[in-house]
Structure 1
Amino acid sequence: MATVAETRALFRRADAVCFDVDSTVIREEGIDELAKFCGVGDAVTEMTRKAMGGSVSFTTALSERLSIIKCSREQVNKLITDHPPQLTAGIKELVEKLHQRNVKVFLISGGFRCIVEHVASQLDIPFHHVYANRLKFYFNGEYAGFDESQPTAESGGKGKVIGLLKERYGFKNVVMIGDGATDLEACPPASAFIGFGGNVVRQQVKEKASWYVTSFDELIQELEKI
């Protein structure tokens, strides 16, 4: 495992930085918010906790949670309108700093593209830099499942996306930042992983991350050293 000093150095010279979204870039877990909105919050929150702790496979957890929620297209749109995702303090400034340095920024999420695109637009991240799951709906707007062909729909999916990005863009140095087990798993192929505990602390991630931060200000200050 890389040391803290090595991880800091890799972050300062990254070609690309990939962020998890739920409980990292935004303060909440999108799927939990959707479940609450649809009146099945408690059942889904427990399943999310297991998935993020790494005790059940991500695909199983996603499928089971969605089969409980069964959200319609109208409910998803209303959630985004009535309860838009709340950005974590400091993320806007951090992304701006990375963009100023010509570092490519990507959002890689096990959440839903319709919600993650809303977040991306607030951070000036192009939609083709968004990797997330797609909900499927019948013509009448009722829930019809999710697109299982997306890499983010499977365990180890975030690592697959990073491998794909390295291949496509020729990135040598990709840093992954996130709060959960699925983010930790993405290194390798990510060159470095930074654990984020500003919204929720997951003990397994805190123990295994070579650099663990609780505020994006720590990352902003690291970039200002150069």
Structure 2
Amino acid sequence: MKLLPALEACTPRGNLQSNMSTRAETKAVLRSADAVCFDVDSTVIKEEGIDELAKFCGVGDDVAEMTRNAMGGAVPFKKALTERLALIRPSREQVNKLITDHPPYLTEDIKDLVDRLQQRGVQVFLISGGFKSIVEHVAARINVPLSNVYANKLKFYFNGDYAGFDETQPTAESGGKGQIISLLKEERGFEKDAFIGFGGNIVRQQVKEKAKWFVTSFKEIIEELEN
């Protein structure tokens, strides 16, 4: 499973040199970015959405272990997603009730960060291996247009029972989040220059090692934008 860094900052094609190699250069990209793509689970929100859905449906422990294996790359993402959903089998009613009764917890300062980015004219995107119905709820709370949400789509029968998920979505594949970013670059003329790792909710060593700038609070990013 390819890990998506917490934030991807994109600038107009050719505006800044690609493959930024230092923290200072990464910060410069952020300050001049035309778009920022956020991962969602354990980044924009504090929890892993699929684990919370599993808890709600009574199979939390088993699914949490499967999620850990998927995050570590031991299992291809689509296989892990298929297996977890086969165990959860969430109905439409359960998904809706989860959102109503136990809405995801936003990470501290994420709303402020998104507001400040948008005030600067930056387009904000949410790209998630989670479920669109949940991610769209999060997007609405932080004023991200639903057209800027990319996530997996659950399918239901007419009676609301679980019927699988849309396996054609790039986000259902290993490396799918990166495919979405490449698509955005191609369609909108963005050039990906840098990423920022985020460890405010959970520290993933692979992300920390890869990131040229690793933060544990969105306040650090807000402060950089104010410089």
TM-score by length of 1: 0.90
Residue type of the partner of 2:105?
Q
1:168-179 map, 5 Å: 168-172=187-191
Match of 1:137 among 138, 149, 156: 156
Residue type of the partner of 2:203?
V
Partners of 1:208 and 1:99 in 2: CA distance? 27
1:46-104 per-position Cα deviation (integer Å, ceiling 9, x unaligned): 11112122222111111111111001001000100000011100100000000000000
Residue type of the partner of 1:193?
F
Please state how far the C-alpha of 1:120 moved relative to its aligned partner. Answer: 0.4
Partners of 1:128 and 1:107 in 2: CA distance? 10
- Let me know the Cα RMSD of the aligned residues: 1.0
Does structure 1 residue 214 correspond to structure 2 residue 216? yes
Does structure 1 residue 29 correspond to structure 2 residue 48? yes
Partners of 2:78 and 2:213 in 1: CA distance? 27
Match of 1:159 among 175, 178, 182: 178
Partners of 1:75 and 1:135 in 2: CA distance? 12
Structure 1 consecutive aligned stretches of length 4 or more whose deviation exceeds 6 Å: none
Does structure 1 residue 122 correspond to structure 2 residue 122? no
Partner of 2:194: 192
Partners of 2:70 and 2:211 in 1: CA distance? 18
Runs of 5+ consecutive residues of structure 1 not aligned to the other structure: 173-189
Please state how far the C-alpha of 1:12 moved relative to its aligned partner. Answer: 1.2
TM-score by length of 2: 0.89
Contact 1:53 1:204 in 2 (8 A): no
More divergent stretch after superposition (200-209 vs 15-24): 200-209
1:1-226 map, 5 Å: 2-172=21-191, 190-225=192-227
Partners of 1:5 and 1:156 in 2: CA distance? 27
Partners of 2:96 and 2:32 in 1: CA distance? 39
Aligned length: 208
1:170-202 per-position Cα deviation (integer Å, ceiling 9, x unaligned): 123xxxxxxxxxxxxxxxxx3212111000111
Residue type of the partner of 1:200?
I
Partners of 1:54 and 1:104 in 2: CA distance? 30
1:10-57 per-position Cα deviation (integer Å, ceiling 9, x unaligned): 111111100001100001110000000000001110111121222221
Partners of 2:180 and 2:81 in 1: CA distance? 18
More divergent stretch after superposition (1-10 vs 28-37): 1-10
Partner of 1:185: none
1:141-181 per-position Cα deviation (integer Å, ceiling 9, x unaligned): 11000001111010111111111111111123xxxxxxxxx
Residue type of the partner of 2:157?
Y
Runs of 5+ consecutive residues of structure 2 not aligned to the other structure: 1-18
For residue 190 of structure 2, give the secondary structure of its aligned residue in structure 1: coil
